[in-house]
Amino acid sequence: MKRNHDALTRVWAAELGPRGVTVNAVAPGLVDTAMLRAATARMGEEAVKGMVARTPLGYWASARHYWRIGPLN
């Protein structure tokens, strides 16, 4: 899904850039939510540790990391 997100962002940037439109994208990794915790509860501690280890920051983001992101006018 992120590949599609990246590709769409690049296409829009290429199409709209010449018109002066800047295209940005936000694509967070796993965000620590109740839904994620419920989904990983059945996986076991080692599997969850493996998922966290593959994230660039070494931890899951929280909603507070993204609360200020939104349209820039």
Tens digits of residue pLDDT in 4-34? 888 999 999 999 999 999 998 877 678 888 9
pLDDT recorded at residue 73:
45
pLDDT for 37-55, tens place per residue? Answer: 898 898 888 998 998 888 8
CB 56 within 8 A of CB 28: no
pLDDT recorded at residue 18:
95
CB 3 within 8 A of CB 32: no
Mean local confidence (pLDDT), 59-72: 72
